[in-house]
Amino acid sequence: MARTVPGRTDRVVVVGAGLAGLSAALRLRGAGREVTVVERAPGPGGRAGRVELRGYALDTGPSVFTAPELVADALAAVGEKPEHRLTLVPLETTYRARFADGSHLDVHADVDAFAAEVEALCGPGEAAALRRYLADLAELYRLQLSTFIDRNLDTPLDLLGPELVALVRRGGFGRLSRHVERHFTDDRLRRLFSFQALYAGVSPYRAIAAYAVIAQLDIGAGVWHPVGGIAAVPRAMAAAAADAGVEFRYGTSVERLDGAGRRVTGVLTDDGERLPADVVVVTVDSPERLVPGFARRRRPVYSPSCVALHVGVRAELPGQAHHTISFGAAWREVFAELTRDGRPMSDPSLLVSMPSVTDRSLAPDGGQVLSIVAPTPNLDPGSGGNPDLDWTTLTPRYREEVLAALEGRGWTGLTAAIEVEHVDTPLTWAAQGMAAGTPFALAHTFGQTGPFRTPTLPRRGPENVVLAGSSVQPGVGVPMVVISGRLAAERITGPSRAGVATMAPPGTARTR
């Protein structure tokens, strides 16, 4: 049984209205707690931001939305149904992978359709390998869900059990690159099923094979688009929480936590107000700056960062997919540049999202919105980053390089058609309070995974301060931070599995 907050827990203050804070607030309110959410921004969302310019709606945070059942479950905690707050559109083509040799592969949520694409591009042998690999991913995912992801962990001993033994036997602690190479001979498929390691903040040549399950979420279980953009998700969660009685204080920063001994008794805001609290849920990236007595067990290692270029273009750009992974020719060397040498990718692989293909509410007639994400080093030299990169002067040139790369890969006319744009770099991420200037938080190295990652209820610091968000268990990404909010709430209310849906098993997401 995971530890819980001792003593009275009636009044809870949640610091941060991102997805983790909103998830926690919904569950706590559903359990009868008095909840106040304090957010320094003018509205909800956190990393899932939004910029609206001249009729273009640009999501400035996550661009890929998976595991909608987790958001549905959070809404259900206050008696809400997701269809009353959100419209979710399943994507038949979850990704289009474009390779440096000019070939491309459409990744489908439907296994038969995906296998047919692979057979046409790579041959029947690789199509058969794909089916075996997807089945392997589903089993790997099942083993990890209950072991590493979907519960609070206090010590490594919490992992002991038959699932861990099975995970070891399946090679879950070997290298991801070797795990993928054992299944596929075609280099294009090897890249397709290993690039997700960057989501976890590590090179596929260093990541453990267990991280292959990241592909299970967006390739095996499918991708969805929330109408109105991904920023519509936190807005829906916040609206449901407010209607259920959660109080929101937007445009308000937390100066410090107030208390004595082992307990915090209140939250002091920048306008001098003191909010009394029996428990505080902290979702900031660097809790050590706010939580008295809290300290990480070791020097943190951070994920690479990125330059994110969000543009509104007056062009149709016909034939492009909702999500495109544009692979460069280089592979192993670019990971060394990102995580060891502190240099931007010389031959970048890019994630390009054009959600207006699916959702015309995001752009004016004749226009499209695009988000172009180029991984870059972070600002922490101890994590292979480079604080000396002058992004103030480098950004205009790097922007031109990224756009030129896309023009050369089939996005002809993109640059000249740009009407509005918003650019984020490691410097702007840092200015938003993200440690090491990266929106991807702590890397999922072995020493920062599972019970070795900061728990939602640390042993150091006040006994009634709970953590949630990307830098704590279970980890980075929209599904994980939504789960972290639930795990944080359970540190306060105790575990209650009645009516709680976990992440949907493979193949079920389309039926929700």
Token match 């109105």: residue? 228
Burial of 374 (0-12, 13-18, 19+ CB in 10 A): buried
Strand-pair category, 56-59 with 50-53: antiparallel
Token digits for 427? 């410097």
Distance CA 102, CA 121 (A): 12
pLDDT confidence of 339, banded at 50, 70, 90?
Answer: confident
H-helix segments, 244-288: none
What pLDDT, on a 0 to 100 scale, did the predictor assign at position 151?
75
| Mean pLDDT of the region 497-504 | 44
The gap from C-alpha 70 to its chain's centroid, in whole angstroms, comes to 13
503 pLDDT above the threshold of 50: no
307 pLDDT above the threshold of 50: yes
Angle 370-374-378 (CA atoms, 0-180°, nearest 5)?
Answer: 135
DSSP string, 384-406: T--TT--HHHHHHHHHHHHHHHH
pLDDT over 70, % of the chain: 91
DSSP, collapsed to helix, strand or coil, labels residue 130 as: helix
The answer to whether 473 and 487 are in contact (CB under 8 A) is yes
Q: What is the mean pLDDT of residues 222-239?
A: 96
| Per-residue confidence (pLDDT) for residue 243, from 0 to 100 | 97
Structure-token pair, residue 314: 């007056």
Burial class (CB in 10 A: 0-12, 13-18, 19+), 497: exposed
The answer to whether the beta carbons of residues 106 and 55 sit under 8 Å apart is no
Taking residues 287-306, report their average pLDDT: 87
3-state secondary structure of 294: coil
Contact between 75 and 29 under an 8 Å Cβ cutoff? The reply is: no
User: Which is nearest to 237 in space by CA: 88, 15, 26, 483?
Assistant: 26
Sign of the torsion angle spanned by Cα atoms 145, 150, 151, 155: positive
DSSP state of 149: I
CA distance 312 to 329: 28
CA distance 247 to 112: 48
Tell me what the mean pLDDT of segment 362-377 comes to. Answer: 95
Residue 112 CB neighbours (<10 A)? 9
Quick one: which of 466, 492, 449, 505 has its CA closest to 149? Answer: 449
Query: End-to-end distance of the chain based on CA atoms, in angstroms?
Result: 31
Q: CA of 237: how far to CAs of 24, 207, 497, in Å?
A: 11, 33, 21
- How much is the pLDDT for 332? 83
Cβ contacts of 165 within 8 Å, gap of 6 or more:
none
Q: Read off the pLDDT of each residue in 240-265 and give the average, rounded to a whole number.
A: 94
For residue 475, the model assigns a pLDDT of 85
Instruction: Answer whether residue 329 shows pLDDT above 50.
Output: yes
| Phi, psi of 159, rounded to the nearest 5 degrees | -80, -20
Least confident of 350-364, 460-474, 477-491, 492-506: 492-506
- Residue 161 CB-density burial (10 A; 0-12 exposed, 13-18 middle, 19+ buried): exposed
- Looking at the DSSP bridge assignments, the partners of residue 263 are 260
Q: Is the pLDDT of residue 504 over 90?
A: no
Give the mean pLDDT of 454-479: 92
Averaged over 182-204, what is the pLDDT? 86
Token pair for 215: 């592909």
Average pLDDT over residues 436-456: 87
Alpha carbon 354 to its chain's center: 18
The β-bridge relationship of strands 104-108 and 93-98 is: antiparallel
Residue 327's CB: how many other CB atoms inside 10 A?
22
Residue 365, pLDDT > 60, answer: yes
Characterize 207-244 residue by residue with b for buried, 16 or more Cβ atoms within 10 angstroms of its Cβ, and e for exposed.
Answer: bbbbbbbbbbbbbbbbbbbbebbbbbbbbbbbebbeeb
Give residue 11's pLDDT band: very low, low, confident or very high (50, 70, 90): very high
Which pLDDT score is estimated for 496? 65
Q: Which tokens is 16 given?
A: 């941060």
497: confidence class by pLDDT, cuts 50, 70, 90: low
Cβ proximity of 209 and 139 under 8 Å: no
State the virtual CA torsion across 474, 477, 483, 487 in degrees, nearest 10: 40
Name the 3-class secondary structure at 28: helix
Helix (H, G, I), strand (E, B) or coil at 419: strand
Say how far apart CA 42 and CA 234 lie, in whole Å.
13
Which of 70-79, 200-209, 345-354, 474-483 is predicted most confidently?
Answer: 70-79
Per the model's pLDDT, the better-predicted residue between 501 and 376 turns out to be: 376
| 255-259, 348-352, 418-422: range with highest mean pLDDT | 418-422
Q: pLDDT: is 397 or 161 the higher one?
A: 397
pLDDT tens readout for residues 29-45: 999 999 999 999 999 99
pLDDT at position 500 is 43
Q: Among all chains, which residue has been given the structure tokens 């199509």?
A: 127
Question: Which comes out higher in pLDDT, residue 439 or 218?
Answer: 439
